[in-house]
Amino acid sequence: MIKLHKPAEIVACVENMDRIRREIIESRNMAQARIAELERDQSDITHEIERKRCRYADRARLATKLQAVLAERRVLKDWLHKTKRIASVIESNSGVNAQKWTNELLGVAREAAKQAALHDSA
């Protein structure tokens, strides 16, 4: 049997694709900003260890803090690496053209959904 998609289903699918695209871009930007913060934190911690004559307890506290910073940074950097090709496609000319196509498709699908709703209510 042939699956006949309703215009409203197509609208929902295209909107979901667009939402995911925007979320990927936003998440990557947030991850890059957080990595920059973590690198500043890492630098601050290592400078604190270098400059001060710390007691063992202070060094242990700083080392624990440094370990947490490095672990979070590694997770973010790994994720950025895994999503690099996806982001490059989204940001490329073909990705921009696909976004224009998606916007056009969304407009046409919304219009078709309106027409279908008017037809169904009549």
Residue 121 lies in a domain: no
**Three-state DSSP class for residue 52:** coil
How does pLDDT run across 41-79, given as a tens digit for each residue? 999 999 998 887 778 899 999 999 999 999 999 999 999
Residue 1 lies in a domain: no
Among the listed residues 23, 45, 17, the one whose alpha carbon sits nearest the alpha carbon of residue 105? 17
Q: How many structural domains does the chain have?
A: 1
Residue 36 lies in a domain: yes
pLDDT higher for 74 or 117? 74
Residue 2 lies in a domain: no
Residue 57 lies in a domain: yes
Work out the pLDDT band at 18, boundaries 50, 70, 90. confident
Confidence (pLDDT) at 54: 79
What is the domain range of residue 91? 7-116
The runs of H, that is alpha helices, within 1-122 are 7-51, 56-82, 84-91, 93-121
Confidence (pLDDT) at 60: 92
Q: What is the pTM of this model?
A: 0.75
Residue 90 lies in a domain: yes
